Amino acid sequence: MNFLPSRSQGMIFGFVILLLLLGAGVFGIVMLATDSISVWMVLWVLLPLLSLPLSMVVGYRLYGLIAARYYLDRDGFFLQWGSAIEQIPITA
């Protein structure tokens, strides 16, 4: 028996966070290219350096949510999250 968990709220929340992080990174890069050297330059450097790695983490979590499923077999209970599969054996 295959089961798919509810994904709608997590996907909406994840994609909103992902878009905000990617937008902040692109905004920081654009401001770096167009702004003159000033105190604000530190912010424009930190914005992409922080937001782009965080967007990779959020993207990986979204991939895990998209691929999430669990199924029950006569050999055990299997949980799949992303590319990881956990098996819980069932003994009689």
> How far is 47 from 64, CA to CA, in rounded Å?
26
Q: What is the pLDDT of residues 32-88, one digit of tens each?
A: 999 888 888 988 899 999 999 999 999 999 999 999 999 998 889 999 998 899 999
Domain total for the chain? 1
Q: Which domain holds residue 62?
A: 2-89
Three-state secondary structure call for residue 77: strand
Q: Look up the pTM and report it.
A: 0.80
pLDDT category of residue 17 using cuts at 50, 70 and 90: very high
Element (H, E) at 89: strand 84-89
